[in-house]
Structure 1
Amino acid sequence: MSIGKRRPKPSRAQLRSFPSVSLQQSRLARQRARLVSLSLVALTVLATSAIVHGSGPAFTYRLGQRPDREIRVNVKEFRIRNQTKTSNERQAAADQVPPSMVNDPAPIKDLAERLDDLTVTIAKSQRYEELAKTLISTWKLKPETYLDIKAATDTPQRRDNLHIQIAKAFVPLLDAGVLGPGALPRNEETSRTLSIRNLDQPVSEARVFPRERVVPERIVKPDGAVAREFIAAFTTPRVGETLFQLVADRLDGRPTLTYEQEETALLREIARNQVTEHYDPFTRGEVLVEQGQTIGEEQLILLRMEHDEAINSLTLGERARRALGILVMVSALFILTGYYVARHERLIAADFGRTATICALVVISLGIVRLLANQSWNADLIPVASAAMILAIAYNPGFGLVATFGLSLLTCMALGTGIGHFLVLMGGTAAGVLGLNDVRTRTKLIKVGATAALGYLIMTWATGLWEHQPIELIRSDGLWRAGWGLMAGFFMGGSLPFLENAFGIVTGISLLELGDNTHPLLQELVRRAPGTHNHSITVGAIAEAAAERIGANGLLVRIGAYFHDIGKMLKPHYFVENQTGSTNRHANLAPAMSTLIIIGHVKDGVDLGRQHHLPERIIDLIEQHHGTTLVEYFFHEANRRNGCNPDGATIQESAFRYPGPKPQSKEAGILMMSDCVESASRTLSEPTPSRIEGLVSELIDKRLRDGQFDECGLTLREIAEIRDSLIKSLIGIYHGRVKYPEQRTA
């Protein structure tokens, strides 16, 4: 190459950089994931809007409520069934149906035949004394009666005429029959008419007769209707009177009517059903409830009828406008919540599973609210309180408070309640949610439920007095709501293990259970790698103090520190804290092989954690506590050995780095710093405060320059606070001790 010649410029095609295929695929995958999440949220908005809309405007009036304004009919007209009048008319129609009786005319026919035989016997006899004594005693026949009948049958013609007249006289008795004593039940004895049919007749041919026509006491009366008809059948009234007297003495023992209970009940039921419902009309502008009047049962029925009529009268356009308004309001609420999540809860925004779980929880909670809407127990706060508490435990009280606001607002929209109900829901639930900052005991949730119950009680009384509601209603609502708030705490306490599994929640209770020394992994770590176990305990202590210093989850960091090096138990003697004597397993290994063994403890720890079902947040700490840091000792050793070999290949730094990922949370960043400074501090021959401070500052600054804390959210101020806390903790561990003189033996 000649001096002074300019190098040719590369073409624009050579200057343009194209993204690699993997970057394009990663970008497309993120876009698809974002699109799926947005589609899920859009479906949740539609489902929530449908639940809030329901079948139309909600019915907001309750028994015992006192409205602050006059309530009038707001529809053209509606009618309400008058149950009392309808029942009275139906009962009157049933009472008009007479008892159904079946007539068996055989006893009356027998009596007619015997009377006819008597007249024949008297016609054939010459005088009264010739008659049989049994016949006289049976008929109670007197001489004057004998003479009257004898005179009416003295010729064959008159005898035949009398036979015809007797048959005609018995027709009324055969048609109506005779009612015997006890034939009717007591409840039917007051009936003035009877429906009577013969045995061989269908029900449709039954005829109605006055009761006096069939009662023996009325039949035998000479001035009665039966007596008059009987006597009228004879041409000679005296003969009719004489024969009727004989018949009247024989009717008491010959009842012919039988009561038909089932037929009577059936006919009366038919009569009831034929009476149509009676409705009272109400027109637009008519007052239903006066201002300040307490809503009773009757007013509540009227309001419900008017509300149903108003919903039925809504046109398709009115329904569409209402649905559109609800959709816009629900969308705005979701956008507001989504903005909060994107700014302050990025873990939720970046995780489709968490987003799907929250969306499902919102839809289920509002669905339960809708199912409980028609109850008078104020149980609609149970799903709101439970959902808000679940989100506060799963993430943080701040997000739980946002969820409380959204769910309370959506509940009031679905139920059509006013600002008073919103204040009760928001105030009581927020009081419980704000107490869920750290759940380390089972009783904590019960105390939170009691706090929520107290909040519901106070807010119910406050809003009730403000809205001028009756004291009885306020007292009832307050007790119900306080009871449900307390039950929400018990429900959360009992269902917490299931919620932890379903939502991937790591509470203080589960962390304390994991930190128990009886855990199988910790027991195995003590047995196989006691030095690593001792290191983990120390790291946990100093990391917890540092986390508490900046307001992070100290308990999570401490328990994560207990498990962060469990992968070392598979090859414990390759790590310096477990090596005894002067034996070094790495002496005969190539630096690259030693690096693979050292780095491998992270993957082994993740595998062991998943085998023993450790929570994902603990596994994340195991995976991220080294980030992508460099295994410096073996990297420099490889470079040293490579320098002695001119033909050796170039050492790639990436081959001596941990696979990562870098710390993704503040707790993981704290654990990384605590782990490295605790390990390094053991190498100090004289751990004076100045040396400890210099070592800690150097190690943290090195990782800061290496970009290890770029993704965990730690600020420089917080890193400085953590550094100060770690320095103080290590100085406390390696503080100077008084040297006691050697104890002399006796």
Structure 2
Amino acid sequence: MSGASKNRTRQERVESLGIQKPRWIQWWQNSDKADVSSRVGIALIAALALLLVCETWRPPFAYRLNAIPARDLISRVTFEVPNIDETKTLQDRKRREQLAFYRNRPQPIDQLNAALRDQLFLVLSAPSFDRLTEDERNAFAQFYEDDETDPNDTPANRFSMLKTVLASDPELKTLDDAIKVAMRDNYRFGLIMALQHVPDQGSQERIKVYPVGRPDEVEFVEIADARIAQAGVALAKRLREQFRTKFPADDSQKVAGMISDWIVSKLPKYETLEYDDTLSEQARQAAAESVVPVMTTFRHGESKLAEAGKTLRESDIRLLKREWGELVSKMQWTDKAIRMVAYAGMISALYLLCATYIFFVDDKRLLLDRFRLTRMLAVMVVTIGLGYWVSGDRWRGELVPLVMASILTAVVYGRELALLLMTAACVSVTLFLGSNLAELVTFAAACTSCILLLGRIRTRTHLLYIGATSAVITVLTVIGVGIVTGQTLSIGAPVAGIDSLYRGPQFDMVVWGLVKEAFWSGFCILVSASAMTPLLPLVEKGFGVQTDLSLLELGDASHPLLRRLAQRAPGTYNHSINVASIAEAAADSIGANGLLVRVGAYFHDIGKMFKPEYFIENQSAGINQHDSLQPAMSTLVIIAHVKDGADLARSHHLPEPIIDFILQHHGTTLVEYFYREAARRSEEDPNGETVNDKDFRYPGPKPQTLEAAVMMLADTIESASRTLVDPTPSRIQNLVDAIANKKMSDGQFDECGLTFMQLDRIRRSLVKSLTAIYHARVKYPGQQSA
């Protein structure tokens, strides 16, 4: 019996031999191609994000302030930079060459002329010299004093000359015209005893003069024409010329001298010019800005930008940045593409290393679950990106994101995988920044020590202990690596005749810089560990893990309500933070739930965000919205924040104990300010109705728990403490006692079971906390109390 034969394909014939295929081929044939493609796409997007965020298309700027280059830094491109010193010298010269502005107010000259006429009329009214009265003689003495050298030049003769010459001008109109013509330049140019500006403020030879109120009518004036000492001589000369034409008598020149001498003697009291600092400074500033900057050229391969073995100063950093910016601007697109491809190859190698370990050793579900893979890659991208952007001289904070990511990955993924991930992150940051081996060792020491010391987080201070220990390790590592790399041994020349490591001031500066860098690194680690403590609830929620600190989740500062409160009512938010601080300590002092009180304090005033401007802590620029409202209406607005806060809390699904804090933190207390204002207005109004205090009380209920009672006291006392002019411990003590007694006498603690002993402990705790906040400070001589 024969059957029909079936032709097999080549692939089927190969498989019939039973030879096992490689694992990766079997995995590819059995996998979901769409799922694999999506996960590969996620990895590619993360890699592209790193390439873009870290600006891999351009070379990194690897120089740091106070760093010590091992070789001379030669310019890699020809560029120009402004010579600040020479430019400033030119600007200063321009400022000194500018003409200063002076305001001319000629009224004093008119007053001088009027005084002259008064004195002349007084003298000329006398019929003869012998019949001069005492006042007339005193007036005449101003025009002439006895000249003992000339026996013929007597006062009587001078008086006769004055009468004779001016006899033809009884009303002194001709004289007035002559004086005005002679003083025409003085009216125009002004008069001044000495310049009112220094040489650095403008020219000392010429000035710009303008009439008061007309700054556009500027006139250039030589100083000699306005200086009284010199202008007086010219004035006397011009007056004699006027007398020669207007008074042809023989003795007119002597009379002209008498009058000019009187005028010149009085001129110092009649200055008309006043320095205008505003216009002068504007002119000087415009002149300085018009100066074209002096440029210094640095040539490619020739100009030295920094010297080997010397610390980089701020001027060196600015020059290197200018050279780096010029280099980047001249790069071709092909150069940028090649750099990005090289960095992409580095990222691919790190991907392969980490993925292989995760898939074959750790937990392959991290790679197979797209959501978990996205979270892990996002953590790495954010960590490396932040490390890149905060690494400049302004912050030097690249350790902060690296240490925080070390703690996070250790909590979420465990120590082993965290070590691998953070090794990849440290290598990436080092290469993206263009840092050296010493920086990589520092990064590795900080991250590794945090991961290995982490363990289980049992207390809120655990991360602080980890941060302190890791900080010490990193400080020692930075100093050790600095010594190993020779930063302290190759600086400066040895002191003659002394065979020691001491190298002089430059050596001291380098050692001090190394110590500062080490302690700054330790400080960054402490900050990072401290910052991770409040962020742990987010880590728990975002990554689905639990720690012993999950109770703090609700108090996270990133909660939407708290963020909105901080944006809409920053003053209320700050008040809430302060209340939380002092209330938690007070609750702990009586054995209450301090953490619950603290979280409740964060949310107790969220209702104020609806109308933040009606609460004094959010008001600014002296604007009070209540000025336009009646006291009863203001009270309704104030009281409404309790109900609004409770409604807002319920809509955001806050726990019921937190809502109780919102409802009970004011109890049924009286809104005293508006109650008293309403009572005052009622007393002033004969037809006013009697004010009932029930209309000005919160709806309650009164505090039902010890925690709510602590919240009430802390809230009221913290607000009242801001009004203390000089918050000394005794004044704080009196304030706390007064408020506590008032709340107790008002019956606010009747329903919470608070005892006198507990109330006393709460008061002492609040006094202690507020005293710490308003601790005494040194008063310097002349300092006033706030």
Using a 3 Å threshold, how does the CA distance of structure 1 residues 132 and 309 change in structure 2: closer, same or farther?
farther
CA displacement, residues 369-390 of structure 1 (integer Å, 9 cap, x when unaligned): 1231214554212212222332
Which residue number in structure 1 is paired with residue 352 of structure 2?
335
CA displacement, residues 300-319 of structure 1 (integer Å, 9 cap, x when unaligned): 23222222222233233322
CA distance in 2, matches of 1:184, 1:460: 56
**Aligned-partner SS, 1:197:** strand
CA displacement, residues 599-619 of structure 1 (integer Å, 9 cap, x when unaligned): xxxxxxxxxxxxxxxxxxxxx
Q: Indicate conservation of the 8 Å contact 2:74/2:305, yes or no.
A: yes
Residue in structure 1 matching 2:272, options 256, 272, 279: 256
- Range that drifts further, 411-420 or 439-448: 439-448
Q: Find out whether 1:474 has 2:487 as its counterpart.
A: no
Q: Indicate conservation of the 8 Å contact 1:102/1:259, yes or no.
A: yes
Residue in structure 2 matching 1:303, options 306, 320, 328: 320
CA distance in 2, matches of 1:88, 1:168: 45
Using a 3 Å threshold, how does the CA distance of structure 1 residues 7 and 436 change in structure 2: closer, same or farther?
farther
CA displacement, residues 327-382 of structure 1 (integer Å, 9 cap, x when unaligned): 23223322332233232231211111110101111111122112312145542122
Tell me the TM-score normalised to structure 1 length: 0.56
In the TM superposition, residue 487 of structure 1 has moved relative to its aligned partner by 4.1
Q: Find out whether 1:370 has 2:388 as its counterpart.
A: yes
In the TM superposition, residue 93 of structure 1 has moved relative to its aligned partner by 3.2
Which residue number in structure 1 is paired with residue 401 of structure 2?
383
Q: Find out whether 1:502 has 2:574 as its counterpart.
A: no
In the TM superposition, residue 407 of structure 1 has moved relative to its aligned partner by 0.3
In the TM superposition, residue 40 of structure 1 has moved relative to its aligned partner by 0.9
Q: Indicate conservation of the 8 Å contact 1:457/1:482, yes or no.
A: yes
Which residue number in structure 1 is paired with residue 440 of structure 2?
422
CA distance in 2, matches of 1:155, 1:492: 103
Structure 1 unaligned runs (5+)?
A: 1-5, 17-25, 512-746
Using a 3 Å threshold, how does the CA distance of structure 1 residues 174 and 8 change in structure 2: closer, same or farther?
closer
Kindly report the root-mean-square deviation, in angstroms, between the aligned alpha carbons of the 2 structures. 4.3
Matches within 5 A, 1:57-68: 57-68=59-70
Which residue number in structure 2 is paired with residue 205 of structure 1?
218
**Aligned-partner SS, 1:74:** coil
- Range that drifts further, 140-149 or 376-385: 140-149
Structure 2 unaligned runs (5+)?
A: 13-27, 144-154, 245-251, 488-509, 552-786
In the TM superposition, residue 39 of structure 1 has moved relative to its aligned partner by 0.9
Opposite residue 485 of structure 2, the aligned amino acid is E
Which residue number in structure 1 is paired with residue 77 of structure 2?
75
Q: Find out whether 1:320 has 2:337 as its counterpart.
A: yes
Which residue number in structure 1 is paired with residue 38 of structure 2?
36
Residue in structure 2 matching 1:359, options 363, 371, 377: 377
Matches within 5 A, 1:533-572: none
**Aligned-partner SS, 2:267:** coil
Matches within 5 A, 1:16-165: 30-53=32-55, 56-82=58-84, 84-109=85-110, 111-112=112-113, 137-140=138-141, 141=143, 142-149=155-162, 152=165, 165=178
CA distance in 1, matches of 2:160, 2:56: 96
Q: Find out whether 1:347 has 2:387 as its counterpart.
A: no
Opposite residue 105 of structure 1, the aligned amino acid is P
Using a 3 Å threshold, how does the CA distance of structure 1 residues 72 and 163 change in structure 2: closer, same or farther?
same
In the TM superposition, residue 112 of structure 1 has moved relative to its aligned partner by 4.7
CA distance in 1, matches of 2:467, 2:533: 9
In the TM superposition, residue 44 of structure 1 has moved relative to its aligned partner by 0.4
CA distance in 1, matches of 2:38, 2:204: 79
In the TM superposition, residue 418 of structure 1 has moved relative to its aligned partner by 1.4
Aligned length: 488
Q: Indicate conservation of the 8 Å contact 2:78/2:297, yes or no.
A: no
- Range that drifts further, 479-488 or 61-70: 479-488
Which residue number in structure 2 is paired with residue 169 of structure 1?
182
**Aligned-partner SS, 1:79:** strand
**Aligned-partner SS, 1:374:** coil
Tell me the TM-score normalised to structure 2 length: 0.54
Q: Indicate conservation of the 8 Å contact 2:82/2:293, yes or no.
A: no
In the TM superposition, residue 151 of structure 1 has moved relative to its aligned partner by 5.9
- Range that drifts further, 360-369 or 421-430: 421-430
CA distance in 1, matches of 2:452, 2:213: 86
Opposite residue 30 of structure 1, the aligned amino acid is D
Matches within 5 A, 1:453-464: 453-464=471-482
In the TM superposition, residue 127 of structure 1 has moved relative to its aligned partner by 6.0
Opposite residue 345 of structure 2, the aligned amino acid is V
CA distance in 1, matches of 2:417, 2:511: 36
Using a 3 Å threshold, how does the CA distance of structure 1 residues 60 and 109 change in structure 2: closer, same or farther?
same
In the TM superposition, residue 408 of structure 1 has moved relative to its aligned partner by 0.6
Using a 3 Å threshold, how does the CA distance of structure 1 residues 269 and 31 change in structure 2: closer, same or farther?
same
In the TM superposition, residue 448 of structure 1 has moved relative to its aligned partner by 4.3
CA distance in 1, matches of 2:526, 2:265: 85
**Aligned-partner SS, 1:100:** strand
CA distance in 1, matches of 2:512, 2:310: 14
CA distance in 1, matches of 2:520, 2:305: 28
Opposite residue 330 of structure 1, the aligned amino acid is I
Opposite residue 52 of structure 1, the aligned amino acid is C
Q: Find out whether 1:265 has 2:281 as its counterpart.
A: yes
Opposite residue 441 of structure 2, the aligned amino acid is L
CA distance in 1, matches of 2:481, 2:298: 33
CA distance in 2, matches of 1:333, 1:418: 19
Q: Give me the identity figure in percent.
A: 19
CA distance in 2, matches of 1:189, 1:76: 39
Q: Indicate conservation of the 8 Å contact 1:52/1:410, yes or no.
A: no
Which residue number in structure 1 is paired with residue 191 of structure 2?
178
